[in-house]
Amino acid sequence: MQHTFAMLTITIVLTALGSCKPQAPTLEDLPLVPMPKEVEMGKGAFTLDAQTTIASSPNNPEVEGVATYLSSILTPSTGFGLKRAENQEESNVISLSIDTTITGNEGAYHLAVSKGKIEISAPDAIGLFYGVQTLRQLLPPEIEARSLQENVVWSAPAVVINDEPRFQYRGLHLDVGRHFFPLSFIKKYIDLLAVHKMNKFHWHLTEDQGWRLEIKKYPRLQEIASQRDETLIGHGGVKPFKYDGKPYGGYYTQEEAREIVKYAADRFITVIPEIELPGHALAALAAYPEMGCTGGPYQVGQRWGVFEDIYCAGQDKTFGFLENILLEVMDIFPGEYIHIGGDEAPKARWEECPRCQARMKKEGLKDEHELQSYFIKRIEQFLNQHGRKIIGWDEILEGGLAPEATVMSWRGIDGGIAAAKMGHDVIMTPNSHAYLDHYQNDPKVEPLAIGGFLTLEKVYHYNPVPDSFSKEEAAHILGFQGNVWTEYMKTSDYVEYMTYPRACAVAEVGWSTEVNKDFDNFLVRMEKHYKQLDQLDVNYFYAIPKPIASEEQIGFTESATITLKAPLPNCQIRYTTDGSDPNASSELYSQPIEVTQTMQIKAVTVKENGDYSAPAIIEAERLSYMEPLTGARPGTKGLAFGYYPGFFNSVTELIGQTPSEEGTVTNRFIPDIADAKAFGLSLSGLLEATKDGLYRFYLTSDDGSILYLNDKVIIDNDGLHTKNTETGTVALKRGFYPITILFSEGGGGYNLELKLDQPGGATIEMTPENFHLNTK
């Protein structure tokens, strides 16, 4: 593919950030999510009115389809007729045209808004469709209302946009097995994919807890497998399990599934159905127990997790059953990919099953992983013969990857890296960055979720292509997908709450170039985009970002200046200095705050509607100068150590003990003799302050540490913990100061580092050579 736009890429300047005053429109005033490849602001605006027409060419069904889609968005809220123009040249026209001279990745388009005309051109209808999505975001958010909106000026700012997606696969997944959602919600979910220029809907249709697709040849999948007797209450990891006693179920008829396929196709979205095998099959086994190793009886899953009962790999009738199902699935879903699952299939039943063991022997398979590989390859071959390709979760690498398979990397990225290096296509969905079922905020204040922690920012910063990849390897990364597993999402409202706004970040990762990605800028655009989501009635999660402080821990001798920046436009910062929690009527921040006394500043961002964020907390401490040692006698460079083999919960347990060894360290803090699994260490010497001023230490350790100066605790990083950094600031006069660092290692890998900011700004990575022995 040619990237003709690359040469023209412009830089986005973050002028509006941090300001609360209205300004002339700039790039980030455009509520465009995902960020287009190139945007150039013009002057003026196009204003839609009752005389505006829509022109389209050529006159073919696909282009007509996009024109009709555009009117269906614009008409209900504006009430304008939007008649079809006779030709492209008219003024007051929105023109859609195919222009095959535009090149780029599939979905590329050109959009030019000027006073008299809006032009969208693209090499194909897909590009026109994405141009329409961009136009829709340029108009006032009320355009999304489905009823007539009076007194809105329907203007779009003048702009020229050249755009194309970064990745060909931009997906969102939905698990309807754990909980079932109505067709109307599936359509809304797809509509939102379209708004965000995503093009793959991964529909996870079968699970242990429910089979959700009608299969005509196997009616018990509807009668039995789609229903469960009751559902776990609370978290699946917490025993004893309690159940709600309420039957739960549902499935989509083939007619409904076809309706979804068509609805998605009209929005240039491919539906990828997932039929899980050989695991996550308990519901199907409850309906057809002869497809399992033990023959059952089985019960449709009522709690979450992984179940040992999976399809029997030793009998041909299991494959016949699955192939018949897949024939119906292929008939409903015309897309090239069928997702066959492949994840979380315990091998316990296969190990015990004579048929599975016989299969392994006959086929020369050395273990059950190879049997799973046999299973997947056999299904792949069947689907390939019918012109389809499989996608499987990264477990399908175990025991040998099926020859044509595309891998969905979910247990981190290693599976994806391995598959790409083997020349397979990969879709990145690592649970570290793509699992939208994880908490997005403090679990204490959120509804029950599966666990984990994944912020909007973390999703946003994801790059699906590992840094180490060659161009050839990178070409195998088809794209990115967010996954929405619904064990803990009983309602469609809660699905939206977990999915948005993180899916907006998923969309931008999939569409926008790395150079155009900027989280601060994204947040500014999101503030406007939320208004579109409001109009679309999306129940998104929302947290107002906190003010950004120049420093959150400030030590000073006379006075300090604390600067706060607003994280959003059109907002205020309000703060307190007495330790109380600020609110929308606390003191307004209008200029940097001068402090002369020790105090805690708490600041919130307040939006126009009075909503405000959680507080940012700034600790400002007035320090008095410490006195240097009088008559100090600095020796050679280095630190004296004491070594204490043994286990210490706290480094303070070292105080008063006799070390087993003593000596001097020069290049490393930890002496070579420290070879016990657990030990304590003391380091002492003299620190030279070469001038009067503020010195800030950063003490990093795994496990605990404390830093003393003049026998005073400056940093407490004590306790058994993984690598952690704490800081401390002191005011020192020129001279020498006794310093002691206590350290403990509890077993399992250690680390001790010290950094120092000196007056005037230089930061040094300290080693024992930065100190002197104390010979006094």
Residues in contact with ligand ACM by CB under 6 A are 343-344, 393, 410
DSSP structure string for 386-453: TT-EEEEEGGGGTT---TT-EEEE-SSSHHHHHHHHTT--EEE--TTTSBTTSBSS-GGGS---SS-B
Q: Is 354 exposed, middle or buried (0-12, 13-18, 19+ CB in 10 A)?
A: exposed
In the bound state with ligand ACM, the residue whose beta carbon lies nearer, of 124 and 437, is 437
* Segment interacting with Zn ion (CB under 5 A) among 56-64, 93-101, 154-162, 305-313: 305-313
CB 535 within 8 A of CB 145: yes
Nearer to Zn ion, 277 or 312 (CB): 312
Q: Per CB under 5 A, does 310 bind Zn ion?
A: no
Instruction: Please work out the total of residues on this chain that contact Zn ion, with binding judged by CB under 5 A.
Output: 6
Minimum Å gap between C-beta 376 and ligand ACM is: 14
Nearest-approach distance from CB 435 to ligand ACM, in angstroms: 7
Among 205, 293, 419, 715, binds Zn ion (CB under 5 A): 293
Residue 355 contact, options ligand ACM, Zn ion, none, Cβ 5-8 Å cut-off depending on partner type: Zn ion
Amino acid identity at 127: G
Indicate if the alpha-carbon torsion angle 221, 410, 182, 337 is positive or negative: negative
Q: What distance in Å separates the CA atoms of residue 582 and residue 547, rounded to the nearest whole number? A: 12
- The contacts of residue 501 (CB under 8 Å, 6+ apart) are 456, 526, 529, 530, 533, 540, 541, 542
Return the residue of 85, 158, 232, 353 that touches Zn ion, per CB under 5 A.
353
Closest of 732, 709, 729 to residue 626, by C-alpha? 732
The residue among 268 and 393 lying less far from ligand ACM, judged by its C-beta, is: 393
Q: In a 10 Å sphere around its CB, with 0-12 CB exposed, 13-18 middle and 19+ buried, how is residue 580 labelled?
A: exposed
In whole angstroms, how close is the CB of 420 to ligand ACM at the nearest point?
A: 18
Whose Cβ is closer to Zn ion: residue 293's or residue 477's?
Answer: 293
Which of Zn ion, ligand ACM, none interacts with 314 (beta carbon under 5 to 8 A by kind)? Zn ion
Cβ neighbours, 10 Å, residue 51: 13
Output DSSP code: residue 209.
T
Given Zn ion, ligand ACM, none, residue 312, with its beta carbon under 5 to 8 Å by kind, binds Zn ion
State in angstroms the smallest separation of the CB of 468 from ligand ACM.
Answer: 24
Q: Residue 651: what residue type? A: V
Residue 394 beta carbon to ligand ACM: minimum distance, rounded to whole angstroms: 8
Closer CB to Zn ion, 180 or 319, in the complex = 319
Query: Per rule CB under 5 A, is residue 322 in the interface with Zn ion?
Result: no
* C-alpha distance from residue 473 to each of 1, 238, 408, 461 (Å): 16, 42, 15, 21
Choice between 323 and 344, CB closer to ligand ACM = 344
Identity of the residue, 355 or 411, whose beta carbon is nearer to Zn ion in the bound complex: 355
Q: 470: part of which helix (H) or strand (E)?
A: none
Q: Work out what residue 500 binds among ligand ACM, Zn ion, none; the CB cut-off runs from 5 to 8 Å by kind.
A: none
Percentages of the chain per state (helix, strand, coil), in multiples of 5: 25, 30, 45
Residue 429 beta carbon to ligand ACM: minimum distance, rounded to whole angstroms: 8
Choose the contact partner of 259 out of Zn ion, ligand ACM, none; CB within 5 to 8 A by kind: none
Q: Which residues fall within 8 angstroms of residue 23, CB to CB, at 6 or more apart? A: 15, 16
| Nearer to ligand ACM (CB atom), residue 203 or residue 393 | 393
**Token pair 């879709």: residue:** 427
Residue 343, contacted partner among Zn ion, ligand ACM, none, CB below 5-8 A by kind: ligand ACM
Burial letters 522-544, b for 16+ CB under 10 A, else e: bbbbbbbbbebbebbebbbeeeb
Q: What is the DSSP string of 221-246?
A: IIIIITEES--EES-TTSSSPEE---
Q: Which residue is nearest to ligand ACM (CB)?
A: 343
Indicate which of ligand ACM, Zn ion, none lies near residue 125 (CB less than 5 to 8 Å, by partner kind): none
The entry of ligand ACM, Zn ion, none that residue 344 binds, CB within 5 to 8 Å by partner kind: ligand ACM
**Which of 255, 54, 144 is closest to 263 using CA atoms?**
255
Strands 248-249 and 772-774: unpaired
CB of 69 or CB of 462, closer to ligand ACM: 462
Residue with Cβ nearer ligand ACM (304 or 556): 304
Which residue, 343 or 404, is less far from ligand ACM as judged by CB? 343
Question: Both tokens of residue 14?
Answer: 């973050």
Cβ 436 to Zn ion shortest distance, Å: 35
Q: Which residues pair with 390 in a beta bridge?
A: 338
Q: Residues 314, 341, 671, 768: which binds Zn ion (CB under 5 A)? A: 314
| First vs last C-alpha separation in the chain | 74
**How, if at all, do strands 724-732 and 763-766 pair?**
unpaired
Q: Which stretch binds Zn ion (CB under 5 A): 56-64, 175-183, 310-318, 647-655?
A: 310-318
What whole-number distance in Å separates Cα of residue 200 and Cα of residue 323? 24
Query: With CB cut-offs between 5 and 8 Å by kind, which of ligand ACM, Zn ion, none does residue 704 bind?
Result: none
Tell me the three-class secondary structure of 732-767, residue by residue.
Answer: ECCEEEEEEEEEEECCCCCEEEEEEECCCCCEEEEC
Indicate which of ligand ACM, Zn ion, none lies near residue 353 (CB less than 5 to 8 Å, by partner kind). Answer: Zn ion
Smallest separation (angstroms) from ligand ACM to the CB of 118: 43
Nearer to Zn ion, 239 or 366 (CB): 366
Q: Give min distance, CB of 662 to ligand ACM, in A.
A: 54
Q: Considering only the stretches 131-139, 157-165, 277-285, 355-363, report the one whose residues sit in contact with Zn ion under the rule CB under 5 A.
A: 355-363
* Interface with Zn ion, residue 312, by CB under 5 A: yes
Quote the DSSP letter at residue 71.
Answer: H
User: Whole-number minimum distance, CB 177 to ligand ACM, in Å?
Assistant: 11
Q: Which does 393 bind (CB under 5 to 8 A by kind): Zn ion, ligand ACM, none?
A: ligand ACM
Helices (H), 98-204: 125-138, 183-195
355 binds Zn ion per the rule CB under 5 A:
yes
Residue closer to ligand ACM by CB (options 56, 409) is 409
Strand order in the sheet with 553-556: 553-556, 616-622, 599-607, 571-576, 587-588
Which amino acid does the sequence have at 36?
P
Task: Please choose, out of 147-155, 292-300, 599-607, 677-685, the segment that lies near Zn ion by the rule CB under 5 A.
Answer: 292-300
Which listed range, 65-73, 271-279, 314-322, 323-331, lies at the site for Zn ion (CB under 5 A)? 314-322
- In order of 179, 183, 261, the CA distances from 258 in angstroms are 20, 11, 5
Choose the binding region for Zn ion from 230-238, 353-361, 588-596, 685-693 (rule: CB under 5 A). 353-361
CB of 297 to Zn ion, least distance (A): 16
User: What is the nearest approach in angstroms of ligand ACM to the Cβ of residue 464?
Assistant: 17
What is the closest distance, in whole angstroms, from the C-beta atom of residue 432 to ligand ACM in the complex? Answer: 12
123 binds, among Zn ion, ligand ACM, none (CB under 5 to 8 A by kind): none
Using rule CB under 5 A, residue 356 touches Zn ion: yes
- Nearest distance from C-beta of residue 488 to ligand ACM, angstroms: 14
Considering the complex, state which of residue 282 and residue 436 has its C-beta at the smaller distance from Zn ion.
Answer: 282
Dihedral sign, Cα of residue 173, residue 177, residue 183, residue 184: negative
Distance CA 245, CA 444 (A): 27
Nearer to ligand ACM, 482 or 746 (CB): 482
Nearer to ligand ACM, 38 or 394 (CB): 394
Give 63's strand partners. none
Question: Which residue, 210 or 314, has its beta carbon nearer to Zn ion?
Answer: 314
SS3 label, residue 135: helix
The contact set with Zn ion (CB under 5 A) reads 293, 312, 314, 353, 355-356
